[in-house]
Amino acid sequence: MSDFDIGANRHIWETRYAALEEELSADPVEPLAEFVALVEEMLGAAGYRTSLDEGAVGEPETAAALDRARELVTLREAGDEVRHDDAQQAAAELRELYGGLLGHPEADARVAQE
């Protein structure tokens, strides 16, 4: 067994989320890209698929939530306007994924094994 601290990733993720949460409450558009990256990192560590390629099996709800958030990030990066209510909805979906992932400590262990 590794000497890896099972709670290390969780602590890092919680710290990053706390900083993001403050930013999200002020302006949900600006930090959305970083929030997507955090959730994707957590999903990857837990072994979830973050996109559904043609014919691939995965979590459709998870992929759909990520796709919606990614689309808003892409629009913003292209200089298009992103409505705050759309960004708030995407952030709410990401919060739900984030909260669910915190309940899976095996995500921390999987990263340690890689």
Model pTM score:
0.81
- Average pLDDT over all residues of the chain: 82
The percent of residues above 70 in pLDDT, for the chain, comes to 75
Predicted confidence at residue 54, as pLDDT, reads 45
Please check whether residue 81 lies inside any domain of the structure: yes
The alpha helices in the chain, defined as continuous H runs, are: 7-26, 32-46, 60-77, 84-102, 106-113
Q: How confident is the model at residue 2 (pLDDT cuts 50, 70, 90)?
A: very low
Please check whether residue 2 lies inside any domain of the structure: no
Please check whether residue 103 lies inside any domain of the structure: yes
For 2: left if phi > 0, alpha if psi spans -120 to 50, otherwise beta; the answer is: beta
Number of domains in the chain: 1
Amino acid at 34: E
Please check whether residue 1 lies inside any domain of the structure: no
pLDDT per residue as tens digits for the range 27-37: 999 999 999 99
Domain extent for 108? 7-113
Please check whether residue 61 lies inside any domain of the structure: yes
Q: Which residue has the tokens 């990520």?
A: 66
